[in-house]
Amino acid sequence: MSGQAKHLPPLPAERALKVTSGRKDGFITNLDVKSAFGSVIELGADFPLNGGWFVGIDARKIVVKTKANGVLPAFGGAAAHADGRLNPLVLFAAVGRRF
């Protein structure tokens, strides 16, 4: 490496899958949260250090939309419906060695 940052591809786009495994809530019964696909945009770089070591940083923006349904026993069994959107920004930092 020449001492300059080695960048990952400019803005790679990926697909994300949100899989719902636990469907329990104390306030809502018969909770049904749908699994969903979403988008991921990633940007990162590796910065070389001495002796083959490097520091890497990476940021990923994830956008997933999902739906949920259930019953509200505290409100006489009224039906509940929700459209949800998950959009976290996930930051990574790494130290590694190339060999």
Q: Cα 57 to the chain's mean position, in Å?
A: 16
* Contact indicator for 62, 90 with CB cutoff of 8 Å: yes
CA pair distance 55, 14, nearest whole angstrom:
23
From first to last of its 99 residues, the chain has per-residue pLDDT tens of 455 555 454 455 566 666 665 556 678 888 888 888 888 888 898 888 988 899 999 999 988 888 988 898 889 999 999 998 889 999 999 999 887
**CA distances from residue 86 to 14, 16, 47, 93 in whole angstroms, order as listed:** 16, 11, 31, 22
Spans of all domains in the chain: 6-97
* Contact indicator for 32, 82 with CB cutoff of 8 Å: no
